[in-house]
Homo-oligomer: A and B are copies of this chain.
Amino acid sequence: MDIKALLDEVAGGQVSPEAAYEKLKEADQGFVHLDYARKERCGYAEVVFCSGKPDAYLVEIYQKIYEQEGEVLGTRATKEQYELVRKHLPQVVYDEVSRILKIEKPDKKRAGLIAVCTAGTADIPVAEEAAQTAEFLGSNVDRIYDVGVSGIHRLLERTDRIRQANCVVAVAGMEGALASVIGGLVKNPVIAVPTSVGYGASMHGISALLTMINSCANGVAVVNIDNGYGAGYMSAQINRLGYKEGGNQ
């Protein structure tokens, strides 16, 4: 709906104020929102959560986003979904570890720096989902894996690298203590990702989530269990503030 045009018509007498009022009311709250496409509103184009998407819909959404954006990012894809999409978009690339299925613009520039750390090797799939999401959204990523607190020297040896980052993603299962230790070592924010790695009283990640929410360190906030994508997205948002001039000064 073109509100400006409508107002011009009111001014020009083609439309009465009463009729204009009805039209505006009809369009309701939604009228302004239509002006904000997601990229404008949120800063990044839509990302596809592939898990459980019906085949036909998956192909269609990949094609549509690719047409609009020239690239497309999807998470939690299966190998079967990769085979399917590839038939229609042969340039699509699949990473079995992160389960990311994407077409990325070849000339993408990355800026800033995010450090993605894991406690163990079993946390790497979640970390890669975070890292590759952040890279797709324009960030440089430094991967620092297997630096869990039961051998604290592994982490401490890498403190300087971690301190370079505008944002740190801390990925850990079991007791999830990594986020607190990193929180105490760095200046910039830490996004903590609990993982479902563990057994017994880890309760599929609930224990690690609780640990991270109760962190005694400052500057730590938490996303859902195994939500590498969410951490990658938010760290990219934060990193963008660090390298862009567009921040509110």
**Could you tell me how many residues of chain A have their Cβ less than 8 Å away from some Cβ of chain B?**
116
Tell me if A81 is interfacial: C-beta within 8 Å of chain B.
no
Copies of this chain present: 8
Say yes or no for A26: interface residue by CB 8 A criterion: yes
A78 part of interface (Cβ distance < 8 Å): no
Q: Name the residue of chain B whose CB is nearest to the CB of A38.
A: B151
A243 touches B237 (CB 8 A): no
Residues in B with CB closer than 8 Å to A231 are: 221
Chain-B contact segment, one of A84-92, A99-107, A204-212 = A204-212
- Quick one: which of A44, A158, A166, A226 has the most chain B CB within 10 A? A166
**Do A152 and B152 touch across chains, with their CB atoms under 8 A apart?**
yes
A177-B174 in contact given A25-B32, A36-B153, A248-B164 (Cβ < 8 Å)? no
Tell me how far the C-beta of A184 lies from the nearest C-beta in chain B, rounded to whole angstroms: 4
Q: Contact check, B42 vs A218: say whether CB atoms are below 8 A apart.
A: yes
Question: What's the nearest-Cβ distance from chain B to residue A200, in Å?
Answer: 3
| CB-based closest 9 A-B pairs | A242-B247, A200-B225, A33-B153, A30-B157, A177-B177, A7-B17, A221-B221, A150-B184, A29-B156
